[in-house]
Amino acid sequence: MPYGPVLIVDDEPANLAILHQILKDEHRLMLARNGAEALELAGKHHPCLILLDIQMPEMDGYAVCRALKANPTTEAIPVIFVTTLSELENEEAGFHAGCVDYLIKPVYPRIVRAKGADPSIVGSSQAVGENVRRGHRHARQSRPLQRQRYRPAYLAHRGLRPATGRDRRLAQAGLRNAGASRSDARHRKNRHSRFGVA
């Protein structure tokens, strides 16, 4: 089992059982009965392949596939539709949604096994998936550093530059001088008022 798990998504238990029987010796398997469960499992476990039914209640397979492709965490996972919909427009809609292949039920076990073992389908997703997971871990660990790192770029975009230690010292001195000047002005005004000077 050189690759990650295969996620099988179908609302019919009999169809899940058939695909499970075909692939159980070659892959670790995860089963989902609906689109919401499929999206949750895909985001959490990053399978190497998703076999996805189209006709499901609430959220059909097209919507599930589009949601997977819209999420950076799951967009690289290959999706193969496994469905009874055999019309050309159904297959075309599947490829528009983002699938890599389209199998029509009843499936041939040897074809399903070949798809699950094809490195051009399942191999690339594993590398991308691991990079995504590493990237998310790095992002969580380095978020404070990133805020400091990108602040100069943010300022430069607006024609500014980050404040240096010298800038801050000058600014503080300027505030002190400004405060002293205002205090002196008030003192002179009060003094002039006492002597009847307008």
Q: What is the pLDDT of residues 106-143, one digit of tens each?
A: 999 999 999 988 888 886 555 444 544 454 444 344 33
What does the pLDDT look like over 15-58, one tens digit per residue?
999 999 999 998 999 999 999 999 999 999 999 999 999 999 99
- Nearest 10 degrees: Cα torsion 115, 103, 55, 19: -50
Does one domain contain both 86 and 173? no
CA Rg value for the chain: 31
Does one domain contain both 36 and 119? yes
CB-based contact 63:35 (threshold 8 Å): yes
Q: Is residue 153 part of a domain?
A: no
Single residue among 113, 133, 153 that ends a domain in this structure: 133
Q: What is the pLDDT of residue 172?
A: 58
Does one domain contain both 61 and 119? yes
Residue with tokens 């100069």: 152
Q: Total structural domains in the chain? A: 2
pTM above 0.75, yes or no: no
117: domain CATH number is: 3.40.50.2300
Residue ranges making up the domain that contains 174:
168-198
Neighbours of 159 (CB within 10 A): 6
Q: What is the pLDDT of residue 64?
A: 98
Q: Is residue 103 part of a domain?
A: yes
Query: Checking phi first, is residue 116 left (phi over 0); if not, alpha (psi -120 to 50) or beta?
Result: alpha
Does one domain contain both 116 and 180? no
Query: Checking phi first, is residue 47 left (phi over 0); if not, alpha (psi -120 to 50) or beta?
Result: beta
Q: Is residue 13 part of a domain?
A: yes
Q: What is the pLDDT of residue 156?
A: 46
Does one domain contain both 192 and 101? no
Q: Is residue 176 part of a domain?
A: yes
Q: What is the pLDDT of residue 120?
A: 83
Single residue among 133, 154, 180 that ends a domain in this structure: 133
